[in-house]
Chain A
C-alpha cells in the first residue's frame, strides 16, 4: 500500500488523522498549544472535506459536554485541549469515562497555571490520570498520527468502551515540523470501521448503549450507596481489559501501516546496567543518549511507556528484568507526594517482586525547561553511582533547576 510522506507538526498530524477518520462531531475551544488542531480541522470542515458537525463552543467544559452528548447519541466525537482547558473540563472527564463513551481527545501537553506558562510538561494530563481515560503518550508526530487513528478502536473495543486521551508534548511535538507517513483515506476508513456499541440492559430490555427513543435509556443519573460502587468496579474491569485490547488493536494496525506499537517500547534493555523509564518526546533524546553511551561502553537502556493508563505494570516488570538501577523521568510534580506519578506507579509495581531494581525519580522539564542530551547523561551518571553504591541516596531529584 502506498503511503504518502507529509511534512506536518504534531497538531497537524492530529488534525489530518482525524480528518481521515471523519468523525460525526468535533466540539472544541482553542488553547495554546492545541489550537492548530482545531484551527486546521475547522478548515477541513469549511472546505467540505469532512462530514463532521463542528461546534464552536464557549469553553472547554462545554466542548467535552458537547462530545458527551454526541457520543451518548451514538456519534463518534472528538475534541482537543491542553493545560487550563483540560482543567476546566475536569468534571466532564470523569463523566465521559463513567458513561463509557469512547470519545477521543488530543492533549497538547502544557504546564498548568500559575504562573502562566504555555510550554510543555505533563502536569495537565497527569492530573487527569485517575479520571478513567486511556492515556497514550507519543514520542513524535508519526506516533501522534498513528495514535489518533488507533485511539478510536482502542476506546470502542467491545471489552473496553472508554474515552482515550492522545498526549503529545506541547511545542516540542505540537509545533515542530516532522516527516509523517500517512495512510490513504480509504485504509483509515477501513481500519476504524463503524463505531461499535456495547449492549446494556435498558429499561425496556437489551439495548445498544446510545440514546434511542425506541429503546429508552437513562445514562448516569443518581446512583447512591447501593449501586455507585458496582458501576465503578465495571470501570476498573474495563481498564484491565484495555491492557489486552490495546495490543490487539496495535497488532491489527501494524498489518495496515507496517508500524508496530505496544504498551511499552523497551530499547537495549537485555544486558543493561542502568535504564531510564519515561514518557513522550523526551524518550527520543534518551534513545540518542543510550546509543552514545553504548558506544562509550556504558550499558544503558530505556523503556518508553506509551500507554500510561491502564498502567502496564506486568510488561514493565518483564522488560526491566534484572537491570539493577532504574531512573524514572517525571515531567510533572505531585505536590506533597513521595515522588512523581510515574515513579509512584513504578515503585508500587515492583514492591511485591522478589528481584527489584533500585529506583530513583528524576523530575525534570517543568514549564518546558529543556531536557538536553547533557541532562540525560547526568541522570545516567547518577544511576551509575546508585548501581555501584547499591543504594538510592536521594529518592527524588529535581534535575535542570537552578539552586
Chain B
C-alpha cells in the first residue's frame, strides 16, 4: 500500500490575526503558521493503517515557513518519505494548491497504482475555495469521501471501509475501491506525540526530498473585495474575583433564573 498524506500549513488562530496592507489578505509579517488540525489526523490515520496493513507513508507539502519542522515531525512519527514541492503555499487558494499536489502525484505516471490511498485533512481553516481532498479527487477522477472518522482496508482487496461522520454521533459506513481520496476529520486515535528530542534527531539526519512541479495557472479563483475583522455582536458579562466569589455569584444567578 502507498499512502500519500497531503499537508497544508495554515494560520495559527491562537495568535491575534490582522489584515494586511492590501486590505484583502492577512498581514503575513504577523502570522504564525502551523499544520492544519485535521491534516494531523490524516497523518495519524495513515500511520495507523501502515501499522496494521503495511505499506509506505509519503507526506507531501508545498513551501512555507516552518514547514520543514512539520515534515521532520512526520518522519519522526513514522512516515517513510517527506517531499516538499517547489511552489510557495502563500497566496495560493485551495484550487491552485490541489493542482500543485496533483502535478506531483501524476508526475511520471499515467495512472496511480491500485493500492494507493491519498489522505488529507477534511477541511482547513483557510479553505475559502472549498476543501482540498475533493478537488484532488476530481482531478484524478478518483472516488472521494470527506468528514472521515475511521478507515480500514479490506484484506487482499483494493478496497477501503470508511466511516463518515454525520450528526448526532451517527456515522455512515461506506465501501470505496482503491485508489481513492479521503478527507479525514478524526483519526481512530488522537494524533501521536513524539518527543522533541526525536524530532531533533530527524532534523539532523532525516531527509526531505524536494520536487519541482509546474506552477498553477491561477493562484486564486475568487475575487476578494476586502478582508475585515468581525464585529462582535454581543459579549459575555465577565465576572471578576476569586473562584469562591465567582461561585457564589453564579449560584445566585442560577437561583434567580430558576435553574436551581
Tell whether A and B belong to one assembly.
Answer: no
